[in-house]
Amino acid sequence: MAAFMGVTMVISVFGFAFLQGSPQQQQQEELPTSNVINYQLTQSQRQALATKYGKTLIDFVYDPENCTNCGSLKASLESMAGQFSDQIILSELEVSSSDYIDLPRILMASQIGSWSRKGVVTSDELEKGFCAVVLYPPLGCAIKPQVKANSS
């Protein structure tokens, strides 16, 4: 009986080593090296950044030719991304109004929930939205009235 158990253990060790050493089908998605990007993240990148790294993802979709306040809105978002670079991934997507309606659009999402707006958005609204969804809110979020995130 002891010999049988010993042989079973040795075979299982070799089997486990073989399975771990074989190439797996999973491919690791390349994550952005900067927290301000100009492309759309894949679903698996979004999942990894939000769940594994606790990032707040901000998508800013706008038409630079037909948007009057997009310059200031973009500057506010980039300032926020710079200030909270360890917590935010900002994706700035320039599109044509003929392809999308209701521009500009902002979507913030994290493990906690999501917040979105279309059209004109003030800096104060951006800050409230960020405070509603960020995983580790800054002290400034505690002293201002907040909005609730939409649970995802």
Neighbouring C-beta atoms of residue 58, cutoff 10 Å: 25
Q: Which residues have C-beta within 8 Å of that of residue 136, sequence separation ≥ 6? A: 54, 87
Confidence of residue 20 (pLDDT cuts 50, 70, 90): low
- Which pair of tokens denotes residue 99? 């392809």
Considering just the CA atoms, what is the radius of gyration of the chain in Å?
Answer: 22
pLDDT digits (tens, 9 = 90+) for 100-142: 667 889 999 999 999 999 988 888 899 999 999 999 898 888 8
* Helix, strand and coil in the chain, % to nearest 5: 40, 20, 45
Q: What is the pLDDT of residues 37-72, one digit of tens each?
A: 999 999 999 999 999 999 999 999 998 888 888 888
pTM, entire model: 0.75
> Residue 152 corresponds to which amino acid?
S
Q: What is the dotted CATH code of the domain comprising 36-142? A: 3.40.30.10
Cβ neighbourhood burial of 94 (10 Å; 0-12, 13-18, 19+)? middle
Give the Cα separation of 58 and 138 in Å (integer): 17
Q: Where exactly are the structural domains of the chain?
A: 36-142
